[in-house]
Chain A
């Protein structure tokens, strides 16, 4: 079942299952459930995740709110954020259309080599991002055997990001499509609905929650991406430089406050995206429960 590979860990399923404590669990369970274990875990997570992010946030406001604002709105910084969001939105939309189409073909169509194509979908998650960069350069770079040169262009960024985010929509739509009730579709067709009408009115509403979550996740992934765009993007300020490249450059020229401020801006965009996704997911879940 390659269809489920990576889903659990790589793609955080939305809504995040807020696990209720095991019913009837004894309060003082032997082992690590006890306060000592919790304290240790908390300490570990603080040291690894929270303290670094705290240092980042504090540094970004080292020169007050105005210092933060100046750093984020510096023309080149702002341009890099704009390029990042623009390209990521386009990539997310491309994913929404192509991902749904690919999922549909994988579920409803049948042809030789389908299993191979299905396995291919997981490859971008398994490949290191720098390998994605090299792989795409081999075809679309300076020595392109087919004469397409995308390096240091925005289409180059698009291709790189589309590569690394490909699995998100496919893998979230695919299982829903497998489960979808086909009798309703048959009924619509027998009542005279065209294929397109059936898709728009029957299939698409069923897919919507999964489609939105997959699209949103690919957007969130795209805005932070570095490895896959570092070689093909060209890093041209105001043209193809994305936020992560700007941040890296600011660290290199020893402007930690600028780097931290743009990092915090990038984090804020990612958090807002994930928060909206979670809201939408819990709303559609509630609606589903109400109709069930």
Chain B
């Protein structure tokens, strides 16, 4: 399509103006507000006991969610690619389901299943508190991150086929050996990519987690809940900016990691 220089410059200006107004300038303002009072103030603000406990809780949730997603994600991908059974289409649909569900709806569903008045409310009488406790936050995070590992590993499994695995089996390898020595090394980059996406989303999830958390500062607040409560409950705007900047830093690290991994994946 031949476009005159005038048209091209107009389109470029419109596109850049939109992106600047929507993304670049707001982020610039928040960085300026955060670091305008010096790096020291920022560090102090993210080193309060409540902030440190929020970071720890976020990391704890990641540490529980990632291994579960790896194990069940790889198992699901294997079942989808290698298994031949009735209901595979249904399984496919269920894996995509979390993408279509609003985080708030995730929270409500978990409350109605695991809450005191829910189907599994009996657990509460046994002293196991799911909703308003750590298990609820973990369940919410697993729900929203469930598709990532499956959807990253699945295409790789398709690509590598079964030749090597069959060869290994013929040579007498047990199924555990085949999985460990052949399959896992082959899918490692896809798996890593899925894990990075899982970590990013786990750290950033807000809606589903706020519904099932009791939200006490220093006890049951994740980083995202900290941003929210500092802004809304404490009217500590600066503190909210600082915590948001911390989360933004983690997000940028994720993006960089993904760029590197993407290159790695396309070369190996």
Q: Chain A interface (Cβ within 8 Å of chain B)?
A: 1-2, 4-6, 8-10, 12, 16, 18-19, 21-22, 24-27, 29-35, 37-38, 40-42, 44-45, 48-56, 59, 98, 101-102, 104-106, 108-109, 111, 117, 119-124, 126-131, 134-140, 143, 145, 159, 162-163, 166, 182, 185-186, 189, 195, 198-199, 202-203, 220, 223-227, 230-231, 243-245, 247-248, 251, 256, 259-260, 263, 266-267, 270-271, 274
The answer to whether A126 and B255 have CB atoms under 8 Å apart is: yes
Question: Which residues of A are found within 8 Å of B12, using beta-carbon distances?
Answer: 105, 109, 111
| Alpha-carbon gap, A283 to B24, bound state (A) | 38
| Residue with the highest number of chain A CB atoms closer than 10 Å, among B1, B89, B154, B174 | B1
Question: Which residues in B have their C-beta under 8 angstroms from that of A40?
Answer: 75
Instruction: Kindly report which residue of chain A lies nearest to residue B263, judged by CB atoms.
Output: A1
Q: Which residues of B contact A123 (CB under 8 A)?
A: 23, 27, 251, 255
Contact partner, A166, options B22, B104, B179, Cβ 8 Å: B22
Which residue of chain B lies nearest to A163 when distances are taken between CB atoms in the complex? B22
Specify which chain B residues have a CB less than 8 angstroms from the CB of A56 in the assembled complex. 105, 108-109, 112-113
Contacts of A143 in B (CB 8 A): 237
B109 touches A1 (CB 8 A): no
Q: Does B55 contact A (CB under 8 A)?
A: no
Q: Which residues of A contact B94 (CB under 8 A)?
A: 45, 49-50
Q: A residues within 8 A CB of B211?
A: 248, 251
Closest Cβ of chain A to B166, distance in Å, is 7
Report yes or no: B241 in contact with A129, Cβ–Cβ below 8 A. no
Q: Are A52 and B259 touching (Cβ within 8 A)?
A: no
Cβ A37 vs Cβ B207 within 8 A: no
- Could you tell me the distance in whole angstroms from the C-beta of B184 to the nearest C-beta in chain A? 11
Q: Report the bound CA distance from A24 to B161 in whole Å.
A: 10
Question: Taking CB as reference atom, which chain B residue is nearest A43?
Answer: B72
Chain A residues whose CB sits within 8 angstroms of the CB of B143 once the complex forms: 48-49, 52
Which range holds the interface residue count of chain B?
35 or more
Check if B146 is an interface residue, CB within 8 A of chain A. yes
Query: Are B251's CB and A260's CB within 8 A?
Result: no
CA distance A251 to B115 in the complex (A): 12
Closest Cβ–Cβ distance, residue B255 to chain A (whole Å): 5
Contacts of B96 in A (CB 8 A): 12, 16
Take A59-B112, A126-B251, A195-B1 as given contacts and tell me if A29 and B11 are in contact as well, using a CB distance cutoff of 8 Å: no
Q: Digit string of B110-139 for contact with A (CB within 8 Å is 1, else 0)? A: 111110011100000000000000000001
Residue B29 is within 8 A (CB to CB) of chain A in the complex: yes
Residue of A nearest to B95 (CB): A45
> Which A residues touch B251, using CB under 8 A?
123, 126-128, 131
The answer on a CB contact under 8 Å between B26 and A30 is no
Residues of B within 8 A of A (CB): 1-4, 7-8, 11-12, 14-16, 18-19, 22-27, 29-30, 33, 72, 74-76, 78-85, 87, 89, 91-92, 94-114, 117-119, 139, 142-143, 146-148, 151-152, 154-155, 158, 161-162, 165-166, 169, 174-176, 178-179, 183, 193-194, 197, 200, 203-207, 211, 224, 227-228, 231-232, 237, 240-241, 244, 247-248, 251-252, 254-255, 258-259, 262-263, 266
List the A side residues contacting B105 at CB < 8 Å: 56, 224, 244, 247, 263, 266-267
Q: How far is the CB of A204 from chain B (nearest CB, A)?
A: 11
**Cβ A134 vs Cβ B240 within 8 A:** yes
A-side interface mostly: helix
Residues on the B chain within 8 Å of A51, using CB: 113, 119
Contact A18 B92 (CB under 8 A): yes
- 8 extra interface residue pairs, beta carbon distance < 8 Å, beyond A22-B158, A53-B101: A12-B96, A52-B110, A56-B113, A108-B3, A139-B26, A230-B228, A248-B211, A267-B105
A40 to B82, CA, bound (A): 15
Contact B76 A45 (CB under 8 A): yes
- Best-surrounded residue of A18, A35, A223, A227 (most CB of chain B within 10 A): A227
Q: How far is the CA of A210 from the CA of B93 in the complex (A)?
A: 21
Q: Indicate whether A25 sits within 8 Å of B84 (C-beta atoms), given known contacts A37-B78, A202-B1.
A: yes
**Complex: how many Å from CA A16 to CA B88?**
14
Residues of B within 8 A of A130 (CB): 204, 206, 224, 227-228, 244, 247
Judge whether A198 and B1 touch: CB under 8 Å: yes
Closest 8 CB pairs of A and B: A224-B102, A128-B204, A30-B175, A52-B109, A33-B82, A226-B207, A227-B206, A244-B104
- With a cutoff of 8 Å between Cβ atoms, the chain B residues found around residue A38 in the complex are 79, 83, 85
**Cα distance A163–B23 in the bound complex, in angstroms:** 7
In the complex, residue of chain A having the shortest beta-carbon distance to the beta carbon of B204: A128
Chain B residue nearest in CB terms to A224: B102
Query: What B residues does A12 contact at CB under 8 A?
Result: 96, 99, 151
The answer for the CA separation of A214 and B4 in the assembled complex, in Å, is: 28
Of B74, B105, B178, most buried by chain A (CB within 10 Å of CB) is B105
Check A131 against B247 for contact (C-beta < 8 Å): yes
